[in-house]
Structure 1
Amino acid sequence: MKTPAQSSRRRFWFDPRFAIGLGLVVAAVGGVYLIVSGSDQTTAVFAARSALAVGDRVEVGDLVATQVRLGGTGDLYVTPDRLPDDGLVVTRTIAAGELVPASAVGRSSGTKTTSVVVELTSALPANIGPGVTVDLWAARKTDQNTYGPPTVLVGQASVVLLLEPTGLSVGTGVRALELLVPKDNVAEVLESIANRDALAVVPVNEPLER
């Protein structure tokens, strides 16, 4: 005959609430781990080794790879896998140590360039902005109200800035652009500006960040 003590030792007690609580604890710990591990991911992004001015050509030696947490904004900056073999050209001043924004650089054409401001006499395309490569077209002014056929004055110029009209130009629809052009073309551009030729730009490509 079994004693009461033997019967109690064979019984197994199970409470479903204990299993549910244990499952919730495991799920919470796993969720916290995923959040922490995801937020700890870093991306290599280039920073300027020293201050960079508009028109400077930038190669890998001018930059420092820095590990930073960017989340979903990594495409806004220049990363090692986005640096062209022939380097970049600066279209906006970048401070020393600053992460290099993709909008502040453009592809280098391998030619020495300089900055020139031109006033346009036609509407500006909506996709024109800093870093966009454009062709500068000019229709030569032959007399007070007559212009010759348009031709490409400068090909592959890089847009640095869009300048809003000021002073007497406000309300006239005139828009000025700061462009990086090869130094060999500067004389032609200045001559066209002095002659008051009709100038327009046509985009060649999209900005680097696109």
Structure 2
Amino acid sequence: MSKTAGNARRKFWFDPRFAIGLVLVVVAVGGVYLIVSAADRTTAVFTARSALAVGDRVEASDLVPTQVRLGGTGDLYVTPDRLPDGGLIVTRTIAAGELVPASAVGRATGTEVTSVVVELTSALAANIGPGSVVDVWSARKTDQSTFGPPTVLVDRAAVVRLVEPTGLVAGGGIRSLEILVPKGSVAAVLESIANRDAVAVVPVNEPLEK
């Protein structure tokens, strides 16, 4: 009888090492599942339906929601829940099919930027074009032939377009630009234009060639 009881006790004996191994397997499987689930997680982000130029106003119909894997970079792009009711204004050229960066657009309403055409008194750098970001420098006119020291009139203004010369000055090259200026700087820009100050632009960035 004692032999039978001893066999029963040995039958239900449990090795702790087996339990530890089982827990490690479960943890490993769970970790792999979480990693795979995180890798498969996508976010709806807007892409441009067609090429968008600086100064364009865009609404939801101009954009295409696209599911992409962004990881921790979701805040860098425009998502459907971040699109304001008044739409957006483009401040940097966006190619067709490109994800729309939050840094390349601004609110279309409010008091942010407006477009102004400035006439330059110096030649335009060859690497400046639509989508370029420039600093606008101005030297105040002191008399008919002299100017004061130049200062930055507007920093980091986006170029909307190059204004082609017409008439008698057509052969002199491009000397005017349409730029996006913060509305708080418009008065200073218009004053400089009215005073016929010397105005020049210096590129801050250079668009990549395609």
Check if 1:15 corresponds to 2:24: no
Q: CA deviation at 1:36?
A: 1.4
Change (3 A) 1:135 1:109: farther
Change (3 A) 1:43 1:96: same
Check if 1:80 corresponds to 2:80: yes
Runs of 4+, deviation exceeding 6 Å: 134-138
TM-score, reference length from structure 1: 0.59
Q: CA deviation at 1:108?
A: 2.2
In structure 2, what is the Cα distance between the partners aligned to 1:40 and 1:9?
50
* Structure 1 residue identity aligned to 2:31: G
Give 1:124's aligned residue: none
Say if 1:91 and 1:131, in contact at 8 Å, map to a contact too: no
Say if 2:52 and 2:90, in contact at 8 Å, map to a contact too: yes
Change (3 A) 1:21 1:51: same
* Structure 2 residue identity aligned to 1:142: D
Q: Deviations over 1:18-63 (max 9, x none)?
A: 0110110011011111111222222121111122122211111111
Give 2:29's aligned residue: 29
* Structure 2 residue identity aligned to 1:192: I
* Structure 2 residue identity aligned to 1:16: P
Q: Report the 3-state secondary structure (helix = DSSP H, G, I; strand = E; otherwise coil) of the residue aligned with 1:30.
A: helix
Check if 1:4 corresponds to 2:3: yes
1:115-130 paired onto structure 2 within 5 Å: none
Q: CA deviation at 1:95?
A: 1.9
Q: CA deviation at 1:106?
A: 2.4
TM-score, reference length from structure 2: 0.59
Say if 2:90 and 2:105, in contact at 8 Å, map to a contact too: yes
Q: CA deviation at 1:195?
A: 3.2
Unpaired stretches in structure 1, ≥5 consecutive residues: 121-129, 162-176, 201-210
In structure 2, what is the Cα distance between the partners aligned to 1:41 and 1:87?
27
Q: Report the 3-state secondary structure (helix = DSSP H, G, I; strand = E; otherwise coil) of the residue aligned with 1:142.
A: coil
Give 2:145's aligned residue: 144
In structure 2, what is the Cα distance between the partners aligned to 1:119 and 1:77?
38
* Structure 2 residue identity aligned to 1:9: A
Change (3 A) 1:144 1:138: closer
In structure 2, what is the Cα distance between the partners aligned to 1:117 and 1:100?
31
Aligned residues: 167
Unpaired stretches in structure 2, ≥5 consecutive residues: 123-131, 161-176, 202-210
Q: Report the 3-state secondary structure (helix = DSSP H, G, I; strand = E; otherwise coil) of the residue aligned with 2:36.
A: helix
* Structure 2 residue identity aligned to 1:101: P
In structure 1, what is the Cα distance between the partners aligned to 2:69 and 2:102?
17
In structure 2, what is the Cα distance between the partners aligned to 1:81 and 1:138?
44
Q: CA deviation at 1:141?
A: 4.4
Q: CA deviation at 1:113?
A: 3.8
Change (3 A) 1:197 1:114: closer
In structure 2, what is the Cα distance between the partners aligned to 1:34 and 1:68?
18
In structure 1, what is the Cα distance between the partners aligned to 2:117 and 2:199?
19
Change (3 A) 1:196 1:56: same
Give 1:106's aligned residue: 106
In structure 2, what is the Cα distance between the partners aligned to 1:117 and 1:36?
57
Check if 1:197 corresponds to 2:193: no
